[in-house]
Structure formats: structure tokens, C-alpha cells
């Protein structure tokens, strides 16, 4: 039986580690040719090699999403090597903690440069190609933090993730008649290298607030993105999917049990 993404070229930013790596693994397992675009060349090439060893078709292109020329070069390189880009997963992002009383202009500008401007640079780098082919899927990694919830120390992060959704809704309208869809996945708390660094007490407290009593895995985000990138989601654009184990459902702590 054919795999769901056979013949598709998928470009994923920030896929050397964390959620991006899980997304790359899911797409590769479904037959896509995956290109990891990341600033960390060593980690990116290592991930690409490991996914290839597991049977995937995975390449790497060095990319700094804060640099528009770098993003344009990455897109052009993928098109030159693979012939096209069918799917862009704009996933690159950071989430440093900074409380309001200590947050600096550099903190604010730095996170927006990667999370928002980096998304804009990559989307606009692939759009001319997708518009010309009249076919393309763009999937953004947003978050429940910002668009729906908040957490002390992540006001700047939450602002970037809400900004991504504002961009998505208007951008999706602009390309709606050109065969291109733009959607987003909003992860809850996902078990990544960064989450592991927060400590077990923090992780346990988060898990206790989630009806499924566990954090998600990066592959859980990948499966939602796979749906949005597939043919069956062709009439869906400008929408979001929350992947959080039910975290947003309870009215309060007592409802979780």
C-alpha cells in the first residue's frame, strides 16, 4: 500500500531537534522526501542521517530563519535538488523565559525575529513556487500559550504565537484560490529536550493538569500536521488544530481528578 505522502517534498524548519524532529520523523515514515532546515548544522545533519538510517529520505539545508536571504536560498536549494516544495512546515521557534520586570527590548526583538519574522521569511520564500504550481500546503507551529492560555515568564513567547495565527488567517485568504492552504497546529505541553531541562517536578505538575495525565510526544504534533498537509485536508485553510491531551478542557483543577 502506498504511503500517504509518497512523492511529496516537505521542508521543515527547526527540525534538528524537539517537535520539528518528531514532525520530520512522521513525514519521512509516510514516504515524503523531507528536508530539514536548521541553523544547527551538526544536529541537523545527525538527525537527517538517523532518519535515513530508519528508512526515510531526508536531506539537510543550513538555514537561518532570521535572515531573509538565507530563507530564500534554502527554498531555492530545495527546489533545485528536489524539483519542488509541496509542503512547508514553519516550525523554528524559541521559548526563553523572561518575566516582565526583567524583560529587555533585546529579549522581545530576539524572540519575534525567530518565531514571527522567521515564519514570514520562510512562507514568502516558498509561496512564489507554490503559487506558480497552484499547489502547496503550509503548516505553522503555533501554541496554546498566547492564543488561548498564558504562563508567567512567557508573555513575549505568547505574543509571537498569537501573531502567527493573525498572519495565517489573512495570508490564507490571499492564496485561497491558488491551490495553497495555510493552517496551524497549536501544541500543548510536549516532551522535548527543552521540556526535559525544566526539571521533573515541573513536568509532573504539568502532567497532573492534563486529563490524559501525560505530556505529548513530538510525533503527536507530526500526525496532526500530516493531516493538514495531506490531500484529504484540501478544503481546510486558515484553521487551527489543538493537540494538548485535553489540557484546555477542565474548568479547574477539581475537574481533572
Give tens-digit pLDDT for 40-94. Answer: 999 999 999 999 999 999 999 999 999 999 999 999 999 999 999 999 999 999 9
Helices (H), the chain: 18-29, 41-53, 68-82, 105-112, 118-133, 155-174, 193-196, 200-208, 218-229, 253-256
Q: Say if 75 falls within a structural domain.
A: yes
What mean pLDDT is reported for the chain? 96
Q: Say if 250 falls within a structural domain.
A: no
Q: What is the CB neighbour count within 10 angstroms for residue 68? A: 16
Cα separation, 193 vs 202, in Å, equals 14
Q: Say if 1 falls within a structural domain.
A: no
Q: Which domain holds residue 237?
A: 9-245
Give the total number of structural domains in the chain.
1
Q: Is 157 a catalytic residue?
A: yes
CB 107 within 8 A of CB 59: no
pTM equals 0.96
Q: Say if 255 falls within a structural domain.
A: no
Q: What is the CATH number of the domain that holds 147?
A: 3.40.50.720
Residue 1: pLDDT band (50, 70, 90) is low
Q: Say if 256 falls within a structural domain.
A: no
Of all residues in the chain, what percent carry a pLDDT higher than 70?
100
| Catalytic, out of 95, 151, 157, 235 | 157
Q: Say if 252 falls within a structural domain.
A: no
Q: Say if 253 falls within a structural domain.
A: no
Q: Say if 52 falls within a structural domain.
A: yes
Cα separation, 77 vs 66, in Å, equals 17
Cα separation, 128 vs 229, in Å, equals 18
Amino acid at each position: 500500500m502506498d504511503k500517504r505522502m509518497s512523492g511529496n517534498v516537505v521542508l521543515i524548519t527547526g527540525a534538528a531537534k524537539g517537535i520539528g524532529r518528531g514532525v520530520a520523523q512522521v513525514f519521512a515514515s509516510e514516504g515524503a522526501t523531507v528536508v530539514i532546515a536548521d541553523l544547527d548544522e551538526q544536529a541537523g545533519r545527525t538527525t537527517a542521517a538517523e532518519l535515513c538510517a530508519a528508512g526515510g529520505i531526508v536531506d539537510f539545508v543550513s538555514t537561518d530563519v532570521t535572515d531573509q536571504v538565507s530563507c530564500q536560498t534554502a527554498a531555492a536549494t530545495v527546489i533545485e535538488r528536489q524539483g519542488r516544495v509541496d509542503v512547508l512546515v514553519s516550525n523554528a521557534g524559541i521559548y526563553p523565559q523572561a518575566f516582565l520586570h526583567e524583560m529587555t527590548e533585546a529579549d522581545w526583538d530576539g524572540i519575534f525575529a525567530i518565531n514571527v519574522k522567521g515564519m514570514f521569511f520562510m512562507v514568502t520564500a516558498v509561496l512564489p513556487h507554490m503559487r506558480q504550481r497552484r499547489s502547496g500546503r503550509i503548516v505553522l507551529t503555533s501554541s496554546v500559550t498566547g492564543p488561548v492560555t498564558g504562563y508567567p515568564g512567557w508573555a513575549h513567547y505568547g505574543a509571537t504565537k498569537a501573531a502567527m495565527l493573525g498572519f495565517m488567517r489573512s495570508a490564507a485568504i490571499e492564496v485561497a484560490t491558488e491551490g495553497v492552504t495555510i493552517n496551524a497546529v497549536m501544541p500543548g505541553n510536549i516532551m522535548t529536550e527543552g521540556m526535559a531541562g525544566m526539571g521533573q517536578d515541573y513536568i509532573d505538575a504539568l502532567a497532573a493538569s492534563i486529563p490524559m495525565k501525560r505530556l505529548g510526544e513530538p510525533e503527536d504534533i507530526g500526525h496532526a500536521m500530516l493531516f493538514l498537509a495531506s490531500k484529504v485536508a484540501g478544503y481546510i485553510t486558515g484553521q487551527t488544530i489543538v493537540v494538548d491531551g485535553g489540557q484546555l478542557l477542565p474548568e479547574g483543577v477539581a475537574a481533572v481528578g
